[in-house]
Structure 1
Amino acid sequence: MDISVFFAAIFLLGSLFTPSISDPVQDKRALLDFVENLPHGRYLNWNSDSPVCQNWTGVTCNSDHTRIIAVRLPGVRLNGQIPPNTISRLSALQILSLRSNGLTGPFPWDFSQLKTLTLLYLQFNNFSGPLPSDFSVWKNLSVLDVSFNAFNGNIPSSISDLTQLTSLNLAQNSFSGKIPDLKLPNLKQLNLANNNLTGTVPESLRRFPNSSFSGNQNLSFLDGSSPPHSPVNPNSPSPLSTSRKTRKLAQSAILGIIVGGCAVIFVISAILLLVCWSKRRDKNGVSGKLQKGERSPEKVGAGRDEENNRIVFFEGCRYAFDLEDLLRASAEVLGKGTFGTAYKAVLEDGTTVVVKRLKEVGVGKREFEQQMEMVGRIRHENVVEMRAYYYSKDEKLMVYDYYSQGSVFSLLHGKRGEHRTPLDWDTRLRIAVGTARGIARIHTENAGKLIHGNIKSSNIFLNAQHYGCVSDLGLTTLMNTTIPLSRTHGYRAPEVIDTRKSSQPSDVYSFGVLLLELLTGKSPLDALGGKEVVHLVRWVQSIVREEWTAEVFDIELMRYPNIEEEMVEMLQIAMACVVRMPEQRPKIEEVVKMIEEVRRVETGNRTSSEAESSGQTPPVQASD
């Protein structure tokens, strides 16, 4: 073979097997026809001159860019009926999300052409009329969510043909008649609540909880009992996709191993500490343990003999124990924070307290006590009271009440999975306003010179009324060295280089990050999960710049109706708090007023009927 012919053949084969980088022309035209014929309130960067697979917002193509396989347009204010023969021309489409818009009209009849669909999200729109009678065309469909619309008529029995279906949500519509016997072997999540269904729940669906059928007045189980007629508690568990649940289960197992290891280490350390303490007492002739007949520790202003180093209790504290009691207590590591390790200690009399063991304290006894006295004087319903402290050359301890619900961090990010109880919007509002009020109280102490210095969700707890309560304050000035920036990066204001020189404006910045955390459900240190660590503030700013505000909010909040305006207002407050220039940030007192105005009746203290109407049955919702 001639060498030139050989290379020509190689070139021809290479060109045949080189992936095309050109646009899927027909799919692109279909989307342009869709958006050009449907009013929308937000800018979409869709135009014929830009490559659809690289630049178009909400569009995903397959690996060789020959077909569009996903379209996600939640919350872009699409209004009116979906133009026929537009979306339906995307014959390779697998994922379609048009949730949280203003779409009207019947279920699009031409969607029957989308035979490759696996995920379909149409919730929170104004669709009406019956569903298609024949669902057998969508053999691959695994998630169907049409909740919070105005669909009516009977639930089609052909849904039984969706053998791959794992999540079905028809809640908050006007479906009537009997529930068909849906024999769906892979169905994991079901929500038919708040419709007009009658008859009895078929045997094939009785494995699902009563909450899946609540709000249907004339529906009953085989034994004659009726599902609850009131809306399901908005705190009901949030169903998640199987992959996410598996990942969280693995993380839980790892966390269990870590916590167990920490507990073992703590027990060993406590034994060694007790032995060392005993030797020190024998050497110095000092007894740290109360003998029989000796009076119990006294309150503020007493028991401060330099030799004894007794625990100092603040006025009004109901506790009475000494260091030996703490050393004998069963202990559990709650977590390692910026300033030290926190332990849950259960004393012999059953009293449970939190003991914080400080590290790297760089001040002497007098300065330490002065700071503790100032912090201990603060009495406010949104500030966690410090009950006692202990100072010696080798140990610095702080004692607090124990909050059984855990921190806001654990409530927001922990135990994600099938049995998770998510934080509803009312609770998040209470956390925000309570925390802001607590910080405002802190900022008034010491002639307005006191700062918190370490505001983050792991230092926020819930009081009895479920309002935010601030803990771990006023410790930055006591530290020997500045806190490593890697441990405060997510919450740290950009001007703070030395954490010992934090300021009240930097507290406001950290509080703004906390607000973003409540709104997005994302951690400030790992906003997008996986290996990609993204700064939460920068991520939110980039989303807002693109006018895709709806994509910012935690998917767990999408189940609650009529809160979009409040969430947007809270987002605006958060963005004001995290501006780069500290002098441009509002004072915390101003922030409190702004949050209180988001809901003008004491944030969360609405009437029970109002609260129920805003927390109606949460839809079964997988990730889209």
Structure 2
Amino acid sequence: MIPYLYVTTIVFSIIFLPTGKPDLTSDRTALLALRSAVGGRSLLWNLSATDPCGWAGVHCEANRVTELRLPGVGLSGQLPVGTFGNLTQLHTLSLRFNALSGQLPADLGAVTSLRNLYLQDNSFSGEIPAFLFNLSNLVRLNLARNNFSGEISPGFNNLTRLATLFLESNQLTGSIPDLNSPALVQLNVSFNNLSGSVPTRFATMPASAFLGNSLCGGPLQSCFDNGSKSKKKLSGGAIAGIAIGAVLGFLALLVILILLCRKKSSGKTRSADIGQVKQSEVEIIGEKSIGGDSLSGDHGVGAVAAAAGKSGGSGRSLVFFGNAGARNFDLEDLLRASAEVLGKGTFGTAYKAVLEMGIVVAVKRLRDVTVPEKEFREKIEVVGTMDHENLVPLRAYYYSRDEKLLVHDYMPMGSLSALLHGNRGAGRTPLNWETRSGIALGAARGIAYLHSRGPTTSHGNIKSSNILLTRSYEAHVSDFGLSQLVGPTSTPNRIAGYRAPEVTDARKVSQKADVYSFGVLLLELLTGKAPTHALLNEEGVDLPRWVQSVVREEWTAEVFDLELLRYQNVEEEMVQLLQLAIDCTVQYPDNRPSMAEVTSRIEELCRSSLQHEHDPHHDVLNDVDDGSSQQAYSVGSGAPLSSVAD
């Protein structure tokens, strides 16, 4: 009887008594085994601590490990078997941006509580294992940019909660199965070796999700059909009709051109209005928006233009560029214009000028210009030929001995600096992730265009006050090409917060130095903090150094602007942009990416975040990231965190 009671007591204890501490101990053992197997000495965990919940990248709930986020921490080798099966309460696993290889461990299929699995940007190989289809709670699965092969299994239909499936840039073959999971709203299989037709269910998805394969149908070009093609051939009569119509159209166009030329030569018509600026396209020319001081008569642009006219020099005419279209105002019109100071920046003072005929332009009065007239005209002509949708175009200029003026379209929306740092009190409208990432992309495209003009072409003064915005928050880069016109008095200290460490002469800023400044701009967008000296007479933060100091400790939500923390469903994209900013601001120029690479990476994360923002299963995706705003993040470039910080 006693042995029976003894055995019964033991069984009762095993089944019903709480086992929290042994479970956490088991979790700790599993984490240490993982660290030992994949070269995780870079994790900087305190191995003497019995509680793993304080380790970087480890998050616990109810005395169990529930999240393990180790992106970009230099892990390599193969994941060991018999480790993840012990982390039974794990619902988020992120090992992206490492150098892990081999096949996925089979015991990963035993973690049935797993909801988010991020394994992108590694070197995993083999077929996508069937045990993943047992993870019935899986909501987001990202296996992109690995070496997975074989076909896409219809077993994904077993994952009835799966909302996101990213399989791009692998070596997958065969066709896309008819994935009918009702929750699946995000799919990307681009750049594999797939063939066949895209299932009709995915017809409304973006074509970019299927590029780089031999696929057709859906959002791509219709599948080739020989039978239907022969029926759709044009008849001989139809072809003849098209040819005759084309000839008649050409003759009519020729007549119109002749008439226009005659009108132009007789002086009866004038060119189109340079100042017909769309009010939806808005900008402030200059660094810091001052505004409020209405100047007219002998003040502002009127006084500037008058002084320019009296100074002799090379005459009283504005020089327009070919892309300016019309020239229906001149320097005399500027003389009579009322003006308002917009801002005083690195290269001069900007004014808003309202001409009598209603045209509104922005005029910048340059200072510290020391180059000879011929060189000035040559360099400014180059600036005037630059034409891109994300640049603020230069419409005209004026040069005399004492005055140099630049004329741009006027856009009253303001600069990124004012948008980020203005009115941080009550009543401010938070600047959301979609807007910030879109601004980053537009600015990157504009700067990348400048760099594409030649290896020695750079901006030289990239900062948030030179990123100007339309009413729809599209970014336009201003003040490009002006750094080579100024004298030695325009020291780099004026842009100290964005200056690359190797820059000693403001007139000699390389493209890689531009990349550094753009990286600081990204940090400013993400943190909401102004770099040192970015705001006139105000203190700022050395953003790269501050971020590096956080890296040495751990990545926390405190890195991001509080206005961004509400957007938990784009957490991965926020971390990716933060990683890109770190890559741009490394000390050695050769280790920084090019602006073309930067633009490509931002385009990719913008596509991903845009899908998240407009996801009809938004509540499902939010369930993925419960509590993530309070947990630690880890980012890196495949190197130990300590080396990234250095």
TM-score by length of 1: 0.52
Written as runs of structure 1 = structure 2, the 5 A alignment for 1:585-604 is 585-600=592-607, 604=610
Residue number in structure 1 paired with 2:391: 383
Name the structure 1 match of 2:418: 410
Look up the match of 1:426: 434
Q: Structure 1 residues 598 and 315 mapped into 2: Cα distance closer, same or farther (>3 Å)?
A: closer
The residue that corresponds to 2:557 in the other structure is 550
Q: 1:271 to 1:373 in 2, by over 3 A?
A: closer
Measure, in 2, the Cα distance between the counterparts of 1:442 and 1:611. Answer: 40
Match of 1:492 among 496, 499, 502: 499
In 2, Cα distance between equivalents of 1:103 and 1:554: 28
- Give 1:510's aligned amino acid: S
Q: Does 1:334 align with 2:315?
A: no
Gaps of 5+ in 1: 1-32, 50-72, 84-101, 105-125, 127-254, 285-304
CA contact (8 A) 2:302 2:338 kept: no
451-460 vs 327-336, which moves further: 327-336
CA distance in 2, matches of 1:613, 1:389: 54
SS in 2 for 1:78: strand
Provide, for residues 317-361 of structure 1, a one-character-per-residue CA deviation record: whole Å limited to 9, x for no partner. 345212232232222222111111111222222222111111011
Partner of 1:571: 578
Matched, 1:444 2:425: no
- Maintained 8 Å contact 1:309/1:392: no
Q: 1:614 to 1:521 in 2, by over 3 A?
A: farther
CA gap of 1:394–1:264, structure 2 versus 1, over 3 A, is: same
Among 444, 454, 461, the residue aligned to 2:461: 454
- Distance, in Å, in 2 between the alignment partners of 1:75 and 1:612 is 28
| Alignment-derived partner of residue 93 in structure 1 | none
2:62 aligns with 81
Cα separation, partners in 2 of 1:259 and 1:381, compared to 1, 3 Å: closer
Q: 1:276 to 1:340 in 2, by over 3 A?
A: closer
Q: Which amino acid aligns with 2:401?
A: K
- Amino acid in the other structure paired with 2:381: E
Question: Once the two structures are superposed, what CA deviation does each residue of 1:112-131 show, in whole Å capped at 9, x if it has no partner?
Answer: xxxxxxxxxxxxxx9xxxxx
Q: Contact between 2:497 and 2:534, CA under 8 Å: does it hold in 1?
A: no
Work out the CA distance in 2 between the residues paired with 1:74 and 1:411.
37
* SS of residue paired to 1:501: coil
CA RMSD of aligned residues (A): 4.3
- Map of 1:357 onto structure 2: 365
Partner of 1:483: 490
Residue 359 to residue 608, structure 1, CA distance change in 2 (3 Å): same
Q: What is the deviation of 1:309?
A: 3.8
| Equivalent residues of 2:303, 2:335 under 8 A apart | no
Corresponding residue for residue 516 of structure 1: 523
Query: Which structure carries more relative contact order (alpha carbon 8 Å, separation 6+)?
Result: 2
Is 1:312 matched up with 2:293? Answer: no
Q: Residue 384 of structure 1 contacts residue 400 of structure 1 at CA under 8 Å; is this kept in 2?
A: yes
Q: Is the 8 A contact 1:435 1:470 kept in 2?
A: yes
Q: Secondary structure at the match of 1:338?
A: coil
DSSP 3-state at the match of 1:453: coil
| Paired letter, 1:521 | G
Checking the alignment, whether the CA contact within 8 Å between 2:308 and 2:316 is kept in structure 1 is no
Relative distance call for 1:384 and 1:272 in structure 2 (3 A) is: closer
Compared with structure 1, are the counterparts of its residues 401 and 44 closer, same or farther at alpha carbon in structure 2 (3 Å cutoff)? farther
Q: For 1:526-570, what per-residue CA distance to the aligned partner results, in whole angstroms no more than 9, with x for missing partners?
A: 799998753111001111221124221111000112111111111
Q: 1:357 & 1:484 partners in 2: Cα distance?
A: 18
CA distance in 1, matches of 2:611, 2:447: 21
| Residues 157-196 of structure 1 mapped to structure 2, 5 A cutoff | none
The alignment status of 1:581 with 2:588, answered yes or no, reads yes
CA distance in 1 between counterparts of 2:511 and 2:463 reads: 14
Shift of 1:306: 3.5
2:355 to 322, 347, 351: 347
Q: Structure 1 residues 267, 45: CA separation in 2 closer, same or farther (over 3 Å shift)? A: farther
2:544 to 537, 540, 560: 537
Give the secondary structure class of the aligned counterpart of 1:335.
strand
Q: Tell me which amino acid in the other structure corresponds to 2:426.
A: E
The superposition leaves residues 235-263 of structure 1 with CA deviations (integer Å, 9 ceiling, x where unpaired) of xxxxxxxxxxxxxxxxxxxx99x755x65
Displacement of 1:410 in angstroms is 1.1
- Distance change in 2, residues 1:613/1:354 (3 Å): farther
Deviations 1:428-474 (A, max 9, x none): 111111111111111122x3321110111111123476332211101
Q: CA deviation at 1:584?
A: 1.1
User: Alpha-carbon deviations, 1:488-507, whole Å to 9, x = none?
Assistant: 11100000001111111101
Q: 1:310 to 1:599 in 2, by over 3 A?
A: closer
Question: Which structure 2 segments of 5+ residues have no match?
Answer: 1-20, 32-42, 65-88, 92-114, 116-287, 631-646
Tell me: CA distance 1:596–1:355, structure 2 relative to 1, closer, same or farther (3 Å). Answer: same
Cα distance 1:486–1:448, how it changes in 2: closer, same or farther (>3 A)? Answer: closer
Q: Deviations over 1:178-217 (max 9, x none)?
A: xxxxxxxxxxxxxxxxxxxxxxxxxxxxxxxxxxxxxxxx
Cα separation, partners in 2 of 1:327 and 1:81, compared to 1, 3 Å: farther
Q: How far apart in 2 are the matches of 1:393 and 1:605?
A: 55
Write the distance in 1 (CA, Å) between the matches of 2:469 and 2:529.
19
Asked if the contact 1:459–1:471 (Cα under 8 Å) also holds between the matched residues in 2, the reply is yes
Q: How does 1:1-40 map to 2 (within 5 A)?
A: none
Change (3 A) 1:81 1:587: same
Deviations 1:94-151 (A, max 9, x none): xxxxxxxx999xxxxxxxxxxxxxxxxxxxxx9xxxxxxxxxxxxxxxxxxxxxxxxx
Equivalent in the alignment of 1:300: none
User: Aligned partners of 2:620 and 2:577: how far apart in 1?
Assistant: 17
Give how far 1:579 is off. Answer: 0.6
Residue aligned with 2:569, SS: coil
1:369 aligns with 2:360: no
Report the TM-score when normalising by structure 2: 0.50
Q: Secondary structure at the match of 2:352?
A: strand
Query: Which residues in structure 2 correspond to 1:74-223 (within 5 Å)?
Result: 77-81=58-62
Deviation for aligned residue 1:82: 6.4
SS in 2 for 1:525: coil
The 8 Å contact of residues 436 and 525 in structure 2, kept in 1 or not, is answered as yes
| Distance in 2 between residues matched to 1:548 and 1:583, nearest whole Å | 26
SS at match of 2:568: coil
Give the Å deviation of 1:578: 0.5
> d(CA) in 2 for partners of 1:495 and 1:329?
43
1:456·1:491 contact (CA, 8 Å) conserved in 2?
yes
- SS of 1:353's equivalent in the other structure is strand
Shift of 1:595: 1.5
Distance in structure 1 (CA, Å) of the matches to 2:450 and 2:329: 28
Instruction: Tell me the SS of whatever aligns to 1:399.
Output: strand
Cα offset for 1:412?
A: 1.2
Contact kept, 8 Å, 1:311 with 1:322, in 2: the verdict is no
Distance 1:268 1:527, change over 3 A: closer
